[in-house]
Amino acid sequence: MDAVIFLVGALILALALWDIFQTIVVPRPTPGRFRIARYVVPPTWRLWRRIATRKSDAAARDAFLGFYAPGVAVLLLVMWVAVMILGYGLILFALRGEIRPIPTSLGEALYFAGTSVLTLGFGELVATGGLARLVVLIGAVTGLGVVALVITFLFSLYASYQRREVLVVTLAARAKSPPSAVALLETYARLDMVDELPALFRDWELWTAEVLDSHVAFPLLGYFRSSHDNISWISALGAVLDAAALVLTTVKNVPRGQAEITKRVGAHLVEDIANILRRPAEEVTVDRVDFEAVYRRLGVAGYELEPLDHAWRAFRRFRATYAGRLEVLAEFWVTPAPSWAGHHRKTSASAVHAPERDPETEREPEPIEA
């Protein structure tokens, strides 16, 4: 037995299995230097994003970006299996004296490992020694187990994605598309549904808690885009948080307790996601002219309002707790930036093409206490 080759193969196999365990089984992000996924997702996303932003047609660009998340999920499966086959191939090559006929090259050992991991069982090569037989059996078991885990992982991803999109899509009927806080509040006033605003905020509190749990456990979910035009979970969340902030600072005679809780949970969500991606918050200001225009629209809609100066200062302070991170996430995932005032802008081409910080080489910023 060649001990060095055996140990190298065992190390490669252990890295693959450890990465699968941390990515799929552990329900939280587990950063580490010895991870396969961390060397696949960030660089491929930067390349994919760069290609997409060169497309002049918005629909083609969005469709191209929509292929990334499903594609990289499949790529991870292929890479995990390939690395496992490499590890088992090196181990079996080190044990080639226990295989008949004896493999004359590493390629033959890799072929034998592949038929074992994928449970093809052609029988062209047969393990005759006890240790080689054990390795072949373990390879078949881990191969089946990994495929089963990944299939379960994909179903879990798509189930979480579909649950995320339900409220996002229904918000378009209330807040237009792309959504905005002022349009949401105007719709509720026009339809005489102001008393139902706390129920709306309650639904989004539960939605935010579920998205926080699922997207922190499986960060790949953030790369899945909505299947509908002009809709993004980032801009939808921004519209709801901005509406909650307006209720808390500007609108009178609307129950504020649920709006406060929803704003807190939402700020927690964007903080955690931004920290996982290692994206520092940008400074976002509230333009006084825009606020005055929204203030007038809310007054015309029939809301009783706080004094203008007091409302503007309070809204600016409240929005600063989450808006900067939402802007960063929208830029990172190339989605329409959240707009509270009803005029939306897409991520600028200059921002998209600007050099990105490499999240793999920079230290993760310290979490900001709420």
**Spatial distance between the Cα atoms of 187 and 185, rounded to a whole number of angstroms:** 5
Span 192-237, pLDDT tens digits:
999 999 999 999 999 999 999 999 888 889 999 987 777 889 999 9
What is the predicted pLDDT for the residue at 366? 35
Q: Give the whole-angstrom CA distance, residue 358 versus residue 308.
A: 42
pTM score, whole prediction: 0.81
- Which CA distances in Å does 113 have to 5, 8, 92, 152? 15, 15, 7, 24
pLDDT of residue 277: 87
The predicted structure's pLDDT at residue 363: 39
pLDDT given for residue 338 in this prediction? 79
Distance CA 322, CA 315 (A): 12
Q: How buried is 312 (Cβ within 10 angstroms: 0-12 exposed, 13-18 middle, 19+ buried)? A: buried
What's the token pair of residue 16?
A: 């693959």
Q: Residue 34: its pLDDT value, please? A: 67
Give the span between the Cα atoms of 16 and 315, in whole angstroms: 49
- 10-residue mean pLDDT profile of the chain (370 residues): values are 88 90 76 74 92 86 91 90 94 90 90 89 83 92 89 88 92 88 94 94 96 89 85 92 95 93 94 89 86 94 94 93 92 85 52 40 36
What pLDDT sits at residue 48? 94
In the block, tokens 């509040």 appear at: 185
pLDDT at 84: 94
The CB density around residue 160, as the number of other CB atoms within 10 Å, is: 19
Greatest Cα-to-Cα distance within the chain, rounded to the nearest angstrom: 88
Domains of the chain listed by start with CATH number:
3-150 (1.10.287.70), 176-353 (no CATH)
